[in-house]
Amino acid sequence: MSNYQHKKGTIRDNALEALLHDPLFRQRVERNKKGKGSYSRKTKYGKNSGQEASSKQVDAFLLLAFFVLTAAVMHLYYSGL
């Protein structure tokens, strides 16, 4: 027998009944693979899971990084004089 740790406290009377009411044997909803209710928005094999950000977001980030670095360099340059 396996060493499954049940989550229903101590078993007093019936071990089989206690296991039946454990989350291990809860009802699960199975998604249809074909027919009604089978549409899935996720890709089947994770083809596009690592999508990159749009070019507008990248451009805005690079512009912000440029300004922050420029300000830091100017601050260091003028504080050293």
The model's pLDDT over 35-75, given as tens digits with 9 standing for 90+, comes to 888 887 776 666 555 566 567 777 888 889 999 999 999 98
pLDDT class for 81, splitting at 50, 70, 90?
Answer: low
User: Which among 21, 30, 22 has a CA at the least distance from the CA of 5?
Assistant: 22
- The residue among 47, 6, 2 whose CA lies nearest residue 26 is 6
> How many domains is the chain partitioned into structurally?
1
Residue 28 lies in a domain: no
Rounded CA separation 48/58 (Å):
19
Q: Is residue 61 part of a domain?
A: yes
* Alpha-carbon dihedral sign for residues 49, 54, 57, 60: positive
20 in a domain, yes or no? no
Can you tell me the distance from the alpha carbon of 81 to that of 79, in angstroms, rounded to the nearest whole number?
6
Q: For residue 59, what are the domain limits? A: 54-81
33, part of any domain:
no
Q: 66 or 24: whose pLDDT is higher?
A: 66
Please indicate, yes or no, if residue 12 is contained in any of the structural domains. no
Token code pair at residue 18: 């206690």
